[in-house]
Each structure stands twice: as structure tokens, then as C-alpha cells.
A and B are shown apart, each in its own frame.
Chain A
Amino acid sequence: MAVDALHRLEALVGAEVYTTDPTVCQQHAFSGRVPRAVVFPRNAAEIAEILRFCSQHRLAVVPLGAGSKGPLANPPERYDLALVSSRLRGVIFYDPGDLTLSVEAGLSLHELERLVATEGQFFPLAAPFGSAATVGGAVASGLDSPWRQFYGTARDLLLGAEFVTGDGLVAHSGGRVVKNVAGYDLHKLLIGSWGTLGVLTRLNFRTYPHPGPPHLWLARYERWEDAAHLLRRLRGSVLRPLAADLLSGWWAERLLRQCPAGQPSFKDPSGLQVVVDFRGSAAVRTRIERELRTLAEQTHATAAVLLAEEAAQTVASAWRELLSQLLVERADGTLFRLGALPTTQPELAEAIQALAASSGVGAHFLVRAAGPMWLALLPEEQGWPAARWARLLQELRQLLQNASAHGTLLYAPASAGTREATPGDANAATKAMQALKDTFDPQHILAPGRLPTSVGAR
């Protein structure tokens, strides 16, 4: 029956939009799951027509941009149709004087960044996978950037959106101006929803004046307590850095690889590195440098260095892409996003490191001062210890619950086996989220099961 239905979809939207070409289908596979057809709709009305049809026939649809984050989150449980935004690449308007713009969801993030740069402006979403990612995918995945310390996340930048619900309603919320409280902010629900609530078609953002080239300062620490202390001081500081992250293990090593020769102490990946990006006029930077030196002393840094401007540019680019680089270099690892109160982070990190070591994996942290703790668990020998995976995950859950920390499993290799759903958690928040899913996608056809698994406390 489903095969017949798909054929009828072709008749409905035309061969220009619809294909079952095996090569094209293969290009849109998720972790080995291949769709039976791919559509390249040209506008929201066409998407609405497709989704109404798929809702009626209960065909599972996965909205896709460039597919750059395909390996992240959970693979879809069912997958009939890939809905690709590559034909939605327009700039609806850009009003530099108002610092606002509206673009179609399939526009590439880099293209948008280049556009605002022509007006001396900055688009601080700066999500990873930037060289391939679409704006819609960056928003739907809800991934953050180092610069959230100053600019916030998609939630703070997205002013309004147009999207299509699972049952084919073209809807708008928010607006194009920087201040607006009319109606429910439904677009905020789509941030980080991984395509499970609607298909984003247009996005309205605010932009910012360009802050000038990055100025990076690095400090080395031996103890979690000290490094985390610096991070907390920066988070609540009048210095207002643009970014401040704490890196350990692989993350630190990968970033420091970008540092030029002549800074040998920062090529050694052992220990903990704090990286700070601060900008401003020469007078402001001199002041911040002075304050950072004092802070480093007070928090027992073992070394600190200010990068030269050219090096800073290279390191900043690599910094932004650490998450995507992890998947390129260490697809055998797993990636979690943990949320814990800053004061509880050192103890939690050390407990996780001890747990990981006992399971033959290394725990590598990327902690944002104003954000989550990104945790990569990387096997130390060849191959993921699949047999120990279930137990490790269970013990990690326990640690997180004891620390009242929440967590999301964003990536695991196929060899790790199935990702069990979070057990026993039909609490009120889960029920409310299910009610929203039922509201936006009554037939549950949109990216079924793709929302990442929750692994911590609620």
C-alpha cells in the first residue's frame, strides 16, 4: 500500500520535485537507512501538499538540509521520504540598517555569513558543520557555538519563522522586528527539535555589528577545580568575553594543533586548557589582558599566553568546528551534551573520567562558560567496547542523576548497538512534549524517533 501511495505522490508533485533514483536515495541515507524517495520542493506550499499527503498515508518524512548532521541525534525509526531544502535558498530581505534579515531555510550558513560580512556585520549563530550546513539545519539541530557566551543561541537570535506542520499547515510565528510579543513563540519550539515538529521554510534573524578580529588567550591548568573556577569567574565577569571554553583531552589537542610553532607549552595536550575570545578597541583589550593575567594567577594557571592575531584567526575557525571535527576524526566515539550547574561541574567531570577509565574509554570535555559540557567518550584501543556500552551508559545515567545533571546523547557509532529510550520517564514535561508533538504532527510522520535520547536527570 505504501509503495502505491509514494507513486501517487510523484503524480501529485511531478517528476521535477520527486525522485526514486537509487543513487539519490542513497545520498540521503541515515546510518544505513535509505529513503524510498526524495523530494526537492520549491516552496512552502509544495511542502504543505507533500506533508498533507504523507500524513494521510502515514509515510515517514525526514526534513533535511545538506545532511551534514545526519550522523547526529537518533536515526529515524521509519524513513519513507527525504524532504530536502536545497531549492529553498533565497534571501527574502536583508535590512542592514535594522540589523535584521529573513532567509529561506536551505541557504547555507556560510553564504549567510558572507552576506552579512559585506555590510560589516556578524551572524553569531556560528553553529558547527558551517561549511556544509544550512541555516534551517543549524536551527533545527540547536547546536551551539563558542560565541554563545556573548550572543546567546538560536533562541536569542531567531525573531520569527515560517514552517510547515506534519499535517501540512503553513504557519508563521514571531515576526521580523527585534522586539515582538504578538502570539505564541512557536518558532522557539522548532529550535533543537530535529525536524520532529515541522519543516522550517523561512527564518528571520537579528544580526550584529562585526566585533572585529578574534583575540584569543589561552591558560593551562592541572586541576579541574582551578580551571572551572576561572570559567565561572569569566561567566559572571564585567569583562564580557565573546567566548570562554574549557577543553580537555582530544578537544584541547585538536585545537592546540592549530597553534603556530614557538608556543611549545601549548602544543602539549595534557592538562586542561581554557580558551577565551575577547575583542574591542586597543584600550579595552589592554585592560582585559591585564585582568586575565590577574585571574590566571588567582586561579593557579600553570601557563598563559595571548595568541598572535593571525594564529587567533586560525584557532577560532578550528574552535567553531571542534564538534564536526570530532565526527570526522573519531567516528568511533560517542558524544553527549550535559547540563550541570557550573559549581558542580568539576566533581561531575572527575567522576565521569574515573568511570570512563574503568571501561577502557577516555572522557574528553569541552565545557562552555555559558553553556553545556560537551562530553566525548573515545575508546582508547581499537574498536568501541560494545559489550560494555550498555553498562557504561547505565552508570553514566546514574552519575548524572546523582548530580542533578541532565544530558542528551547526540552521537554513538552504529557498533555501539541500540540506543534504548530513557526508561521510566513519563513525567509531566515528557507528557507536555508529547502533547506538542501530537499538535504539530498528529500522524507522527515527521522524523520519527529522531529526537536525541535523554540520558540524565529531568
Chain B
Amino acid sequence: MIKIKMESFGIYLPKKIVTTKDILASCRHPPRWNFERVTGIQKRRVAVNEHSADLGIKAAKRALKMSRYKAEELDFIICTSISKQKKNKFQLEPATAMEIRTALGAENAKIFDITNACAGMWAGIWVLQGFLKSGLAKCGMIVSGEYNTVITETAIQEIKNSFDKQIASLTIGDAGAAVIFDISKEEHVGLHYLKLITGARYSNCCYAKPSALGNGIAMYTKAKKIHEAFLKNYPPYLKEALDSTGWSVDDINHVIPHQTAVRAIKKGIRIFEERYKIKSPLVTCIVVNRYGNTSTTSHFIALHDLLLQGQLKNHQNVVLLTGASGMVIGTATLTLDDLPTRYLANSGDIL
């Protein structure tokens, strides 16, 4: 069976670090409960004088640096950012992917944007998988630049009480990520399984739109409802992903969930372990405490962190879990090639 593989990836994290304490101190009406303890988020990166496309472009250039492909060899560039901000404007046309194509000099790439909330990069990978497997493309890039700080800034102004629908806006951070996929030549390497489902019954649980008060972009989240719906519905899909791949839990080296909040991630994994009576705990990657929720890019920020910590090794098996407003649940199983070695050899400027 033809598989696609992660040929290269790159991330970009802005240098400026803002702590949760700093953010709460800026709020007119900070939550009265212990926000940092409940979310586990201590800090995040914040872009200064950089916007969504800039973050994506910087990540894309790093991905290309490690790649065997040159920019002009990319057949597709799919931009999957939720945020498309540039100087107080949210860009509708042209597609943000066009700006990225221009910056990279990827003159032969077909471009378009996909938006699917935090599942955007995985939706893009699903789409690219079709182009690669059907022979329409040899390689392609999925890229996101998330300048989420504007949402936090609105929440700082507008949160009125401890259970305000904009509270979740204080959990997010900025980042860029880009990944290049091509066809795997080794049967045991690559993306074994990828499934995304939209349970649209929950589509009204999270909205981002311009604020009615003129403070920027506001995100309104029914956090409890979306969290409960995900925990209730995701375990069978994860089990299905493992069964379809032919993996037992012992075959998994790392589980990388979407990075929302430390407690939420731990609870989600515990529910899965209890439901399927798993004795040895799953090795779960949690980086949200240091980077916040970087929306579409969060899995790749986690991958990057695992690599720099030396925990992710060549040919290891990774399970990826996605949850996004819409509501989307996604599961993927992936075996790496020698990407960890190549990544560390090329990560001098990131280290």
C-alpha cells in the first residue's frame, strides 16, 4: 500500500516570552480561580512586528533547509492558518499560501488555503495525501503561521468575569510550522493511518470573529462543552487508529495530542487508558505549559520539542490526536524515517 511520509518539517517560535502571570496582570477582570494551576500554562511565545504569514514563511524556510526538495520542486503549498492577520487586517484574498509561495520562490506550486480550526494542518495533510497517492503531486508543503496574540489582547480587554467565554483566549500562543510530505519508499515508514471526522452537532461550541466592541478579534468558547464532547467521543477513534495500523499500545513510542491545557490532556489520556484497561501508561508529550496552545501548529511544536530533548528517535512510532472546533476529531499513526537525525543536524539556528 502506498504511504506518504514526513520528509521534512520546520517550526518558528518568536523570541519574546510572555508569562501567564503577565497576561493575568493585564486583564481588567482576571479570573478569580487559579488559571495557571488549572491550565498548567506558564508561558507562551508572542510575535512582535511579525504577522501570520511571516511566521509561516520562517517555518517554511526551515523545512526547506532540511528537505531534499527545492522550493521550485514543491507541487503544492497549502496554508492552513486560522489567523490571517496583517497590520490589523484579516486577509481574505488572495490566499495566504500565495504570499508564502512568493516568499519561497516556489513558482511551480499550486496553492490554496484550508481552514479547519486547530485541525487545519491535519486537514491539509489529508488533502495532500490524496494528491500524492493519486500521482498528482510528488511532494507538497503544509504550512501555518498562527499570530494568535490578537485574540489574547481582545480577551484582556473584554473578559468580564471568571467564567467568561473568552477565558480560553488566554491560553494561546504564537508559532509557525511547516511540513513537507512525499511518497514513502519503505513500507514500514510513513503515515499509516489518518482519519478526520466532523461532528457538526458541536459546531457552535467555539467562534472567532471581529469583536462587537472594536477591540480586535474575539474568540468565544464553550470550553466545558467542547472538552466533554471530545473526551466522550475520541477514545474509540484512537482505538480504531491503533487497530487499523496493527499496533498495540506497546508499539507506541509517543502520543502527541493537540496542546490545549495540561490537565485536559492528562485527563483525556487517562480516560482512554481506563476505558481500554491499559496497564502501562502512554508516553504523552505535553509542551503546552511552555508554548501555550499554538492552534494548528501545536503538534509540530511538540515534535520539535521532543526532538530537541532527544526523546524522539529515528524509526519511532508516533500517535497524533487532533481536536478542534467544528467539532473535528482526528487520529493519525506515523513511523518516522531518519528525520530526527536530519532535524538535529539542521537545527543549529533554532537551538
User: A and B, one complex?
Assistant: no
Chain A residues near B (Cβ < 8 Å)? none
Chain B residues near A (Cβ < 8 Å)? none
